[in-house]
Amino acid sequence: MEQGHTDVTDSCRVVAPILNRIGDKWTVQVVRLLGDGPRRFNEIKRMVDGVSQRMLTLTLRGLERDGLVNRTVFPTIPPRVDYELTDLGRSLWLPVQALGLWAYEHHGEISRAQKAFDKRAGLSEEQPRKIAAAGMAGR
Amino acid sequence: MEQGHTDVTDSCRVVAPILNRIGDKWTVQVVRLLGDGPRRFNEIKRMVDGVSQRMLTLTLRGLERDGLVNRTVFPTIPPRVDYELTDLGRSLWLPVQALGLWAYEHHGEISRAQKAFDKRAGLSEEQPRKIAAAGMAGR
DNA sequence: CGGCATCCACCGGGATACTG
DNA sequence: CAGTATCCCGGTGGATGCCG
């Protein structure tokens, strides 16, 4: 990638839609699951608890469309379909892992911050979050 | 609700909601923007093009609630409010950067994969994606 | 078994107007 | 300037049923 580019919004416009894919309700779990090796449809469905088969289908289609997973059909009876990460998918898996690690390390802090925030908001509608002295507004 | 799987789904359940925050429509852009230094409300609104003031408010509130940004009110007239990343917010910024880097590096591959996929889907409804020989389905 | 199609509830998010 | 409040639309995603 070209370093030294400059505009924040520029790369953000590229990142945003991808983060939207990644960050949707099921993609991450599926990617992490498949990072472990190829799985078939109902296998995934069982492991990703709570997912409807509709959403799992859509998720896998999206991943396939993005070139992140390979879909392999075995024309047997009953039919069998395997999904596995492509090289691209595996390369995605790494930064996702990093983010997952961050989430895992900090979700305690986050939920504490949330509870503190909710407490402030709940006890008093007019609780000062952080008040700066007037006059130091100039930068 | 089931459990007792590998540790994959475990950490995923922690990651998913956070990725949901990060991956929502505006959070990343705001975080990256604030990674550059503190900004005031309308300053952010101007830089993040397309965001409504409602969504910007909600986004910043969410980030504040998660302990990722500090909100500082200057009780001046006209009022002024600064937003800046907390230490936690800055620590998040790194893996987000990594994911952004990945997106930036691979969005070409992705859009190519998407076009190829759409072409396959468009030309023929019954285009075989990848067919494995029957008989090798056993694992 | 692995889908796709349909219907429908919910809520994310935009536009607009009003307040301190 | 920095919000809050209200309305409303479209997309996301769950439930169900049918099909190869």
Question: Could you tell me which CATH number the domain at B5-136 has?
Answer: 1.10.10.10
Q: Is the CB of A106 under 7 A from strand C?
A: no
Per-residue burial over B105-138, b = 16 or more CB atoms within 10 Å of its CB, e = otherwise: ebbebbeebeeebeeeeeeeeeeeeeeeeeeebe
Task: Provide the pLDDT for residue A133.
Answer: 60
Is a pLDDT exceeding 60 seen at residue B134?
no
Chain A: give the shortest CA distance to residue B56, in Å. Answer: 15
Range with the poorest average pLDDT among A15-19, A55-59, A84-88: A15-19
Partners of residue B116 in chain A, C-beta under 8 Å: 67
CB contact under 8 A, B104 and A24: no
Q: How far apart are CA A20 and CA A26, in angstroms?
A: 11
Q: Nearest CA to the C1' of D3 belongs to which residue?
A: B57
Q: Are A118 and B65 in contact (CB under 8 A)?
A: yes
Give me the CA B138–C1' C10 separation in Å, rounded. 42
Chain B residues within an 8 Å CB radius of A32: 8, 11-12
Of A12 and B67, the structure prediction assigns the larger pLDDT to B67
Answer with the residue of higher pLDDT: B133 or A81.
A81
Nucleotide nearest the Cα atom of B53 (by C1'): D3
**Closest residue, chain A, to B107 (C-alpha):** A14
**Is pLDDT above 70 for B121?**
yes
d(CA B9, CA B5): 7
Question: Residue B99 and residue A77: Cα distance in Å, rounded?
Answer: 41
Predicted confidence (pLDDT) at residue A128 exceeds the cutoff of 60: no
Domain boundaries, chain B: 5-136
Of B67, B82, B107, the CB nearest to A113: B67
The answer to whether B76 contacts chain A (CB < 8 Å) is yes
Report the pLDDT value the prediction gives residue A38, as an integer from 0 to 100: 97
Please report the pLDDT score of residue B131 as a whole number.
59
Mutate to test the interface with A, among B65, B90, B127 (most CBs of A within 10 A): B65
pLDDT one-digit tens code per residue, B1-14 = 333 344 566 677 77
Which DSSP state fits B99? H
B41: left (phi over 0), alpha (psi -120 to 50) or beta: alpha
Chain B residue with minimum CA distance to A18: B103
Q: Is A57 on the interface with B (CB under 8 A)?
A: no
pLDDT of residue B88 exceeding 80? yes
CA of B112 to C1' of C11 (A): 33
